[in-house]
């Protein structure tokens, strides 16, 4: 049997388990995690599951159930909650109040889990989700280990999902990996990046390796350059204090865009098993050409939005946002010119950009193919061939080709062939967290980030932050609602290229 087909079977039902969510009173739990677990149960991807929320906030089981029902009715793609599904799920929802750095709290959590498993006739399979501030990751994992809640072994299983950010630089990522590995085996650790749960991101591998017409062209012989864009219309939205210490390079590029880059650029893995795929992703990150400090301004542009208009609404500049320091030098825009120094991609520039307060919300990969070696037609070349893979919103793939305009003149214009998930399959794609929770419960780490991947990405990113901090590197400004500072446009214009307008 073809190993890809064998490994990519998604019609699976994990063993019954208990999902324990740390940070259960937080926004992520209400908007994403509870609705995702409900949808998985409603669509029969889960057989039996219990949900235990835990946080410092005192709350009864009934109060947490009311919170969960409100979350489902507000945020689930299947709403309002089905009466029968909710009746089943609500009985299995519980709450435990406790401190993340108090060992006694974890002993009482273990006792409560044992009672819940006995009540619902569940095996001691446990998935712990750390939806907390990063400062709580190490104390929680340390106390999980000390209380005996995460023993090694595959049956029964104990697994831990860790939200981003995993470190703020190379040193902190190495230290956190060390703390985690003192308690957990790598196979028990699921570092989550919700971008990898999106249908179109997963489809990158299918698109490349299940279609014989594309992979032979996926190299420096035929591809001129690649653009990856992650644009948001939003500002910091009440997260000013957090974002002002992070910046867009940490918040978006080191994780989301680098993961997309890896899937677009990796070599064919030997199978679709987790480590085979992650081995190839690691090779991409290790092949990234480091940014020399003397070359920083030519390869990395940073910017910060000022007052402007987004979607017809006047918005304040970044330094006027709540929680942001008045003299902040934090970047809300970054554009990078990267090279992957290997045989497939040698000489092909990858242009990445990510920003807040852009004219539209869009994440896409655009593969720009080389022009024909000799132009036969004087009427233009149709704008070149571009393969655009839209990750969000309106997930889909489009291909731009040159075609003759009807009429007597020989005029060439670009036309687009495309497919959209919503219209092509007639079904609503599952949310990213649904896929990732299902994978973690099934023990499949393919769409999660391995520890050495995290360190490799920080190994590239950290010197950029150090150069910004130590050197006289300009922070450009751009009007909110524009596509970024002029310097970012010049980054491509110097190479005779332009940013694609998504």
**How many Å separate Cα 80 from the centre of its chain?**
27
* Lowest-confidence pick of 21-30, 359-368, 408-417, 426-435: 408-417
Q: Are 334 and 301 in contact (CB under 8 A)?
A: yes
In this prediction, residues 243-270 reach a mean pLDDT of 94
What whole-number distance in Å separates Cα of residue 111 and Cα of residue 252?
39
* Lowest-confidence pick of 125-129, 404-408, 483-487: 404-408
Report the share of the chain in percent with pLDDT over 90: 72
Burial 286-317, CB ≥16 within 10 A → b, else e: ebbeebeeeebbebbbbbbbbbbebeeeebbb
pLDDT score recorded for residue 71: 94
- 189 - beta bridge partners? 160
pLDDT score recorded for residue 204: 85
Cis peptide before 165 (omega within 30 of 0): yes
What whole-number distance in Å separates Cα of residue 298 and Cα of residue 487?
10
Residues marked as catalytic: 256
Q: Please state the pTM of the whole predicted model.
A: 0.91
Tens of pLDDT along 305-337? Answer: 999 999 999 999 999 999 999 999 999 999 999
On the question of pLDDT at 103 being above 50, the answer is yes
89, HSE (Cβ side, Cα atoms, 13 Å): 26
CA-CA-CA-CA torsion sign (276, 278, 279, 280):
positive
User: Rg of the chain's alpha carbons, rounded to an integer?
Assistant: 24
Tens of pLDDT along 138-157? Answer: 999 999 999 999 998 778 99
189 vs 203, higher pLDDT? 189
On the question of pLDDT at 8 being above 60, the answer is no
Tens of pLDDT along 427-469? Answer: 667 888 999 999 999 999 999 999 999 999 999 999 999 999 8
What whole-number distance in Å separates Cα of residue 494 and Cα of residue 489?
9
On the question of pLDDT at 402 being above 90, the answer is no
pLDDT score recorded for residue 380: 56
Burial 122-154, CB ≥16 within 10 A → b, else e: bebbbbbbbbbebebbbbbbbbbbebebbeeee
What whole-number distance in Å separates Cα of residue 335 and Cα of residue 338?
10
Angle at 116 between CA 115 and CA 122, to 5 degrees: 110
On the question of pLDDT at 123 being above 70, the answer is yes
Cis peptide before 80 (omega within 30 of 0): yes
Task: Kindly give, in sequence order, each residue whose CB lies less than 8 Å from that of residue 494, ignoring residues fewer than 6 positions away.
Answer: 298
What's the CATH number for 3-163? Answer: 3.40.50.720
* Lowest-confidence pick of 340-349, 378-387, 488-497: 378-387
What whole-number distance in Å separates Cα of residue 427 and Cα of residue 77?
12
What whole-number distance in Å separates Cα of residue 238 and Cα of residue 112?
35
pLDDT score recorded for residue 436: 94
Helices 34-42 and 61-75: crossing angle, nearest 10°? 80
What whole-number distance in Å separates Cα of residue 229 and Cα of residue 210?
25
Confidence label for 5 from pLDDT (cuts 50, 70 and 90)? very low
The domain made up of 196-373+450-493 has a fold known as Dihydrodipicolinate Reductase; domain 2 (3.30.360)
pLDDT score recorded for residue 94: 97
Tens of pLDDT along 154-169? Answer: 789 999 999 988 999 9
What whole-number distance in Å separates Cα of residue 433 and Cα of residue 439?
10
**Dihedral (Cα; 183, 189, 193, 195), 10-degree rounding:** 180
How would DSSP label each residue in 225-247? EEEEEEE-S---TT-HHHHHHHH
pLDDT score recorded for residue 155: 82
pLDDT score recorded for residue 1: 32
Q: Are 14 and 442 in contact (CB under 8 A)?
A: yes
What whole-number distance in Å separates Cα of residue 341 and Cα of residue 335?
19
Task: Kindly give, in sequence order, each residue whose CB lies less than 8 Å from that of residue 343, ignoring residues fewer than 6 positions away.
Answer: none
Q: How far is CA 446 from CA 227, 319, 443, in A?
A: 25, 40, 9
Distance between start and end Cα atoms, the chain: 40
Backbone angles phi, psi at 185, to 5 degrees: -80, 155
Residue ranges per domain, the chain? Answer: 3-163, 196-373+450-493
């Amino acid at each position: 049997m073809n190993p890809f087909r064998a490994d990519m079977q998604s019609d699976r039902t994990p063993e019954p388990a208990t999902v324990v969510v740390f940070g259960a009173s937080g926004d992520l739990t209400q908007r994403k995690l509870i609705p995702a677990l409900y949808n998985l149960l409603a669509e029969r991807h889960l057989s039996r599951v219990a949900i235990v929320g835990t946080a410092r906030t005192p709350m009864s089981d009934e109060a947490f159930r009311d919170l969960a029902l409100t979350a489902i009715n507000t945020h689930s793609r299947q709403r309002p909650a089905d009466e029968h599904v909710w009746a089943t799920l609500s009985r299995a929802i519980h709450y435990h109040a406790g401190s993340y750095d108090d060992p006694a709290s974890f002993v009482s959590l273990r006792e409560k889990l044992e009672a819940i498993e006995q009540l619902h006739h569940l095996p001691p399979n446990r998935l712990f989700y750390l939806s907390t501030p990063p400062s709580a990751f190490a104390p929680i994992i340390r106390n999980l280990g000390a209380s005996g809640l995460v023993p090694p072994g595959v049956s029964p299983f104990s697994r831990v999902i860790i939200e981003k950010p995993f470190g703020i630089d190379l040193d902190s990522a190495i230290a956190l990996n060390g703390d985690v590995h003192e308690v957990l085996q790598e196979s028990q650790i699921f570092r989550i990046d919700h971008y990898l749960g999106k249908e179109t991101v997963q489809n990158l591998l299918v698109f490349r390796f299940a279609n014989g017409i594309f992979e032979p062209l996926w190299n420096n012989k035929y591809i001129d350059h690649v653009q990856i864009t992650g644009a948001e219309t939003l500002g910091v939205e009440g997260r000013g204090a957090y974002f002002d210490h992070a910046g867009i390079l940490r918040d978006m590029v080191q994780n989301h865009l680098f993961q997309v880059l890896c899937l677009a650029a990796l070599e064919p893995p030997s199978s679709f098993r987790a480590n085979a795929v992650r081995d190839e992703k690691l090779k991409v990150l290790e092949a990234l050409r480091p940014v020399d400090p003397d070359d920083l301004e030519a390869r990395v542009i940073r910017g910060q939005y000022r007052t402007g208009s987004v979607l017809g609404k006047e918005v304040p500049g970044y330094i006027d946002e709540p929680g942001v320091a008045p003299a902040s030098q934090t970047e809300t825009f970054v554009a990078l010119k990267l090279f992957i120094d290997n045989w497939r991609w040698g000489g092909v520039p990858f242009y990445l950009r990510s920003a807040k307060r852009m004219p539209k919300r869009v994440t896409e990969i655009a593969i720009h193919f080389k022009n024909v070696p000799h132009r036969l037609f004087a009427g233009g070349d149709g704008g070149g061939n571009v393969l655009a893979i839209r990750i969000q919103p309106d997930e889909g793939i489009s291909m731009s080709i040159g075609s003759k305009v009807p009429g007597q003149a020989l005029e060439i214009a670009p036309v687009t062939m495309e497919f959209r998930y919503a219209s092509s399959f007639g079904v609503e794609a599952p949310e990213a967290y649904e896929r990732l929770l299902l994978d973690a419960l099934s023990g499949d780490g393919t769409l999660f980030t391995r520890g050495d991947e995290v360190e490799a990405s920080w190994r590239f990113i950290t010197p950029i932050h150090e150069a910004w901090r130590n050197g006289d590197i300009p922070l450009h400004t751009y009007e909110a609602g524009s596509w970024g500072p002029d310097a970012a446009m010049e980054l491509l214009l110097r190479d005779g290229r332009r940013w694609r307008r998504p």
